[in-house]
Amino acid sequence: MRYISTRGKAPALSFSDVLLTGLAEDGGLYLPQTWPEFSQSDWRALRGLPYPELAARVMAPFTAPDIDFETLHDLCKKAYSGFSHPAIVPVTQVEDGLFVQELFHGPTLAFKDMAMQVLGQLFEHVLTQRDEHVTIVGATSGDTGSAAIEACRGRKRLSVVILHPKGRTSEVQRRQMTTVLEPNVTNLAVEGTFDDCQDLVKTLFADLSFRREMRLSAVNSINWARIAAQIPYYVHAALAFGAPEQEVSFAVPTGNFGNILAAWGARRMGLPIRHLCVGSNRNDILTRFLTANDMTIRGVTPSLSPSMDIQVSSNFERLLFELLGRDAAACASIMAGFRSTGHMDVPRESWENATALFSGLALDDSQTEAEIRALHQKSGYLADPHSAIGIAAGRRFRQPGTPMVAEATAHPAKFPDAMVAATGIHPALPPHMADLFERRERYQSVPATEDAIKTAVRTAVASCNAV
Ligand SMILES: N[C@@H](CCOP(=O)(O)O)C(=O)O
C-alpha cells in the first residue's frame, strides 16, 4: 500500500513513513493510493472475532507490506488490553431503531483511545525498527491531548508536545493532560482557540527545516494511521447488526471530521453503510455545509461540548479530495481559497454527492442539555454532551428498517458540570482517576504565535534529551 497527498505535490509514501510524517510536505493529507475492498465473504469471516483481531484484519491492508498481520495483531492486543469493558466497543439500544456504540472504555475515557492506543504501539514498533526518535506535536480541543499523552508517556523514542486552548476544555480534560509529569510530556495552554492551536501545528509542519530538525510527527487525525485505526469499530457495529446482508447507518458527533471520515472509509471498503449523520454544536460549519453548501468560518464559540468547538475540520479535506474525483490540483486550489477567504467553494456536483450520503444536525447548548435530560428520563441512558448530540442526530435521520448507531464518544464523567445541570447526577471518575483533582499540574501558558510555540518545542526536546 502506498499513500498519496490530497494536494498532489508530496512524494507517495509507505504506511510506516506516513505514520512518522503525519502531514504531507505539501500541506495535504495522506490517503491510500487505492482503497482496499472487502468482499461479502471477507466481511462474514470477521463475524465473532475478538475486537483486537478484527481491528488487525481490517487494518492489515493499510499497513502492508511494512507491518505483517501477526505483528499488527500483537500490537492491537497490547493496545486494547487496558480497556475496561470486555467488549471494548459495546453497543446498547436506547430507542426503537436507535443504538449507541460506546467508544469511551479506554484509559482516558474518550473515543480517541481507540486509535491512539494503537498509534502508541505502532510508533514504538517502527521507531525501534529504525532506531529513531520523533517529536510529536498535537492540538487538542479536549480529548485528543490526554489520549495522545497516555499513549506516549514514558516512551523513550517519543517527545510529545500538546497545545490546548487555554480555559476552553473541561477541567477534567485539562487535568487529564496536565497531571502527567513524565519528562517526555509538555503541555502548552495556548491563548487562543482550538483552530489557532491546529493552525500553529500546521505552521510548524510547513516550516520544512524546523520540521526536519525537530523530527516532527503528528497524532491528530491528520495522521492517516488515526483514521485507519478508527475504521474497525464501524465494522464491528455493522457486523453485529447483520452486515454484509443488512445496511446500517451511523451518527457521529463531529469536530475535526476524522471519526466520521473513518465511517466513510469503511463504506468505501464495501461495508453496507446507508447514511452518515454529522452532529454539531453551535460551531455548526459542517451542518451549514451539508444543509446549504455554506462552508464559511464564523469563529469558534465555547460550548457544553468543547471537543467539537472547531470551525476548520482538518479531515474534510480528505472527503473533498474524494468528492472531486481525486483531483489533487482542484483540491489544493479550493483549500488555498478556504485559507485566504474563510469560505470554501465546493462545486455543486460534489456538494450534491456529499448530501446524498451525509446529513447534519446542530444543537445549541440548551438543546444539548434538554437532549441529555430527556434521554436519561426516557431510557435511563446517561450520555455526555458530545454523545447526546450524536444521538439527537441519529434520531432525526433514522429510517425504518435500518438500524441507526450513534457513536458515544466520551464518558459523562469528563463533563460533570454539564451532567449535573442536565440531570442532577455527578458521574464518578473511574478508580484509576479518582484522585485526579488532587494531582499536581504542570503546564505552560503561551501566546498563540509561531515563535512562542517553536521555542516551547525546542525547549521540550532539549529537556527531554537532557534526562
Ligand atoms: N476533537 C479533538 C480535536 C482534535 O481532533 P483530532 O481527531 O484531529 O485529533 C479533541 O478532542 O482534541
Per-residue pLDDT reduced to its tens digit, 82-107: 999 999 999 999 999 999 999 999 99
- pLDDT at residue number 64: 98
To test ligand 1's pocket by mutation, which of 109, 141, 187, 260 has the most ligand atoms within 8 angstroms of CB? 141
Q: Which of 9, 77, 78, 112 is catalytic?
A: 112
Residue 89 grid coordinates: 466497543
Distance 431 CA to ligand 1 centre (A): 25
Q: Which DSSP string corresponds to 331-364?
A: HHHHHHHHHHHSEE---HHHHHHHHHHEEEEE--
228 to 35, 61, 132, 214, 261: CA distances (angstroms): 11, 10, 23, 26, 10
- Give me the DSSP letters along 40-86: HHHHHTTTT--HHHHHHHHHHHHHTTTS-HHHHHHHHHHHHTT-SST
Residue 264: which pLDDT band, with cuts at 50, 70 and 90?
very high
Vertex 313: Cα angle to 312 and 315 (nearest 5) = 140
What is residue 119's predicted lDDT score, i.e. its pLDDT? 98
Residue 437 pLDDT level (bands cut at 50, 70, 90) = very high
Q: What's the rounded Cα separation, in Å, for the pair 26 and 206?
A: 8
Q: Cβ(143) to ligand 1 under 6 A?
A: yes
Fold of 91-107+226-423: Rossmann fold (3.40.50)
Question: What is the model's pLDDT at position 11?
Answer: 97
Ligand 1 atom showing the smallest separation from residue 140 Cα:
12
- Residue 47 predicted with pLDDT over 80: yes
Domain boundaries, given as residue ranges, for the chain = 91-107+226-423
Is the distance from the beta carbon of residue 144 to the nearest atom of ligand 1 less than 6 Å? yes
The pair phi, psi for residue 343, each rounded to 5°, is -130, 135
Q: What number is the average pLDDT over the span 18-29?
A: 97
Q: How many other C-beta atoms lie within 10 A of the C-beta of residue 333?
A: 13
Q: pLDDT of 439-458, one tens digit each?
A: 999 999 999 999 999 999 99
Q: How far is the CA of 50 from the centre of ligand 1 (A)?
A: 27
What whole-number distance in Å separates Cα of residue 311 and Cα of residue 297?
6
- Ligand 1 lined by 416 (C-beta under 6 Å): no
* C-alpha 222 to ligand 1 mean position (Å): 10
The pLDDT of residue 457 is: 97
CA distances from 314 to 194, 229, 250 (A): 12, 17, 20
Phi, psi of 137 (to 5 degrees): -120, 125
Catalytic (active site) residue 112: yes
Q: Give 160's strand partners.
A: 136, 185
pLDDT for the residue numbered 252: 98
Closest residue by Cα to atom 1, ligand 1, is 307
**What pLDDT does 404 receive?**
98
Q: Helix, strand, or coil here: 53?
A: helix
Mean pLDDT within 196-205:
97
Q: What confidence tier does 223 reach under pLDDT thresholds 50, 70, 90? A: very high
Q: What count of Cα atoms within 13 Å lies in the side-chain half-sphere of residue 180?
A: 26
The 10s digit of each residue's pLDDT in 324-364 is 999 999 999 999 999 999 999 999 999 999 999 999 999 99
Residue 262 in this model has a pLDDT that exceeds 90: yes
Cα 377 to middle of ligand 1, angstroms? 30
Each residue of 268-278: pLDDT tens digit? 999 999 999 99
Confidence class for position 435, pLDDT limits 50, 70, 90: very high
- What does the pLDDT read at residue 463? 83
Q: Is the pLDDT of residue 466 over 80?
A: no
The rounded Å distance from CA 242 to ligand 1 centre is 31
Q: Which atom of ligand 1 is nearest to the CA of 198?
A: 4
Pocket flag, ligand 1, residue 176 (CB < 6 Å):
no
Model pTM above 0.95: yes
Residue 86 neighbours by CB under 8 Å, 6+ apart: none
The pLDDT value given to residue 464:
79
Using H for helix, E for strand and C for coil, what is the string for 269-293? CCCCEEEEEEEECCCCHHHHHHHHC
